[in-house]
């Protein structure tokens, strides 16, 4: 997908993604690719909010696609709408290189305690 995180904190997560390689048959940025960028950025923000004792798991993603993009890259900015003890919700605005809004998304993540299986999975993934 080519997602790159440019900035990351619980207050703001910024990432980019190329359009090339992420298009649907008509040559436009695929809506699913926008959803991947949105969920990635919102999940990173939720994880940073939750801290090391929590794991962020996406439970609801809503995307509204405003315009098509055929080339270049898109940038997503995730900002918190709600940060609680058990859930975190982020709004993600995705824009094109002309700063025109391509997609508006909202992601809610459940914040659950890190379990032993989570730690095993992380160790296995890094091996």
Catalytic residue list: 39
Q: Which residues pair with 107 in a beta bridge?
A: 61, 90
Rg of the chain in Å (alpha carbons): 15
Query: Which residues does 49 contact at the CB level (< 8 Å), separation at least 6?
Result: 10, 56, 80, 83, 88, 111
- 120 — phi, psi (to 5°)? -65, -40
Residues in the chain: 127
Cα–Cα dist 38/61, whole Å: 8
Instruction: State the Cα–Cα distance between residues 113 and 56, nearest whole angstrom.
Output: 9
């Amino acid at each position: 997908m080519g997602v790159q995180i440019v900035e990351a904190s619980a207050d703001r997560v910024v990432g980019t993604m190329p359009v090339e390689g992420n298009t649907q048959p008509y040559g436009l940025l695929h809506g699913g690719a926008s959803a991947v960028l949105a969920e990635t950025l919102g999940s990173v923000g939720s994880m940073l909010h939750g801290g090391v004792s929590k794991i962020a798991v996406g439970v609801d993603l809503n995307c509204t696609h405003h315009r098509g993009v055929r080339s270049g890259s898109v940038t997503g900015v995730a900002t918190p709408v709600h940060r609680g003890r058990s859930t975190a919700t982020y709004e993600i605005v995705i824009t094109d290189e002309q700063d025109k809004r391509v997609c508006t998304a909202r992601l809610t993540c459940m914040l659950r305690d890190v379990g032993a299986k989570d730690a095993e999975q992380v160790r296995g993934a890094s091996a």
